[in-house]
Amino acid sequence: MATGVRKSWLFRNVNAKIAALPMVLTTLVVFVGGTIWTVVYSFTNSKLLPRADFVGLAQYERLWANSRWMQSIENLAVYGAFALVFTIVIGFLLAVLMDQKIRYEDTFRTIMLYPFALSFIVTGLVWQWILNPEFGIQSIVRSIGFESFTFDPLYNPDIVMFGLLIAGMWQGTGFIMCIMLAGLRGIDEDIWKATKVDGIPTWKTYIIVIIPMMRAVFITVLVLVTSGIIKLYDLVVAQTSGGPGLASQVPAMYVYDYLFTAQNLGQGLAASTMMLLSVLIVLIPWAYLEFGGKKNG
């Protein structure tokens, strides 16, 4: 009897299950398998080629004693904090402006979204030239007549992360705006009519009514932006390659350099395991809110 029940469960929707099988296998082997492999080999002293010679936590001890890694984390924290706040605030404000039933909305939306169609490498190179003191903004302003004007964020270790931030936001904000705009359009017109009737000012309506209603959109945006921050890599490579000095190093660059250039697989995998951990710290609360919340509601 019991086997009969299980069979019918197993063979229900059999076509759909067969169709999903390749994806399930890919997920298990490539994503889950690859992740487990990474974590396991981060406890070995593998050099260029993987070797199952376990050394315990030695790679992690070395990692956390390394000043370049510490600096990378610090840089990422600075970049992340500013990117998170500014992308979401500016993205939302732009979406609100778009939502005012303006003329040529399509055109503006397209312009705002165009940077997102570029790869980070292109964005990085473009902004490398714009921010270059010899060719970019600085030289233009100087040629107008302000001889002492200085704006060279990419060559000043103290503010180089802000040079990256400018480029990162130029690229990412338009996309966040579009998601926010979709969220705003999802709000029922009747809500607006009701607040108008009650005489609540528009700005107040946004803050106390609309934003709480867009909770799911904000959480999605939060996860998208945060995971984008943690894997920040190509923008830095194209714009500064981690310089000047180590001033714009990020964890992903450390991982790449130790995996490949330094031929120290164990060290690189230990660093990437730490990155995985930080992604999980972001993802688990999100998954809890998204899926756990539905059950209760």
Partner 1 sequence: MKIWKLAAALCASVALPSVAMATDCEVTHWWTSGGEAAAVGELAKAFDASGDKWIDGAIAGSGGTARPIMISRITGGDPMCATQFNHGQQALELVQAGLMQDLTDVAEANNWKETVFPPDLLDACTVDGKIYCAPVNIHSPEWLWLSNKVYEDLGMPVPKNWNEFVASAPAVEAAGKIPLALGNQSWQSNLAFGAITVAIGGIDLWKAVNLNKDMAAAAGPEMLTVFQAAAEARKLAAKSTVQDWNQATNLVITDQAAGQIMGDWAQGEFQVAGEVAGKDYTCLPGLGVNKFLSTGGDAFYFPLNTDPEITAAQKRLAALLVTPEVQVAFNLKKGSLPIRGDVDLAAANDCMKQGLEILAAGNIVPGGDQVWSPDVQTQLGDLQVEFWKSQDMTAEAAQAKYVEILTAGL
Residues interacting with partner 1, by CB under 8 A?
Answer: 47-49, 62, 67-68, 132-134, 152, 155, 157, 240-247, 256-264, 267
Between 100 and 261, CB nearer to partner 1: 261
3-class SS of residue 197: helix
Shortest spacing between CB 258 and partner 1, in angstroms: 7
* Least separation in angstroms between CB 122 and partner 1: 16
Q: Between 206 and 258, name the residue whose CB sits nearer to partner 1.
A: 258
Listed residue (75, 93, 95) closest to 83, CA to CA: 75
* Nearest in space to 261 (alpha carbons), one of 242, 248, 277, 244: 242
Nearest CB to partner 1, comparing residues 92 and 258: 258
Q: Which helix (H) or strand (E) holds 200?
A: none
Whichever of 59 and 87 has its CB closer to partner 1, that residue is 59
Q: Give the shortest CB-40-to-partner 1 separation in angstroms.
A: 18
Q: Which of 235, 214, 242, 226 is nearest to 283 (CA)?
A: 226
Least CB distance to partner 1 at residue 236 (A): 12
CB of 263 to partner 1, least distance (A): 4
Task: Indicate the residue among 154 and 176 with the shorter CB distance to partner 1.
Answer: 154
Q: How far is the CB of 157 from partner 1 (least distance, A)?
A: 7
Q: Which of 222/246 has CB closer to partner 1?
A: 246
Q: How far apart are CA 223 and CA 285, in angstroms?
A: 10
3 state DSSP class of 127: helix
DSSP state of 128: H
The DSSP code for 44 is: B
Please, are residues 269 and 259 in contact by the beta-carbon 8 Å criterion?
A: yes
- Tokens 């082997």 correspond to what residue? 29
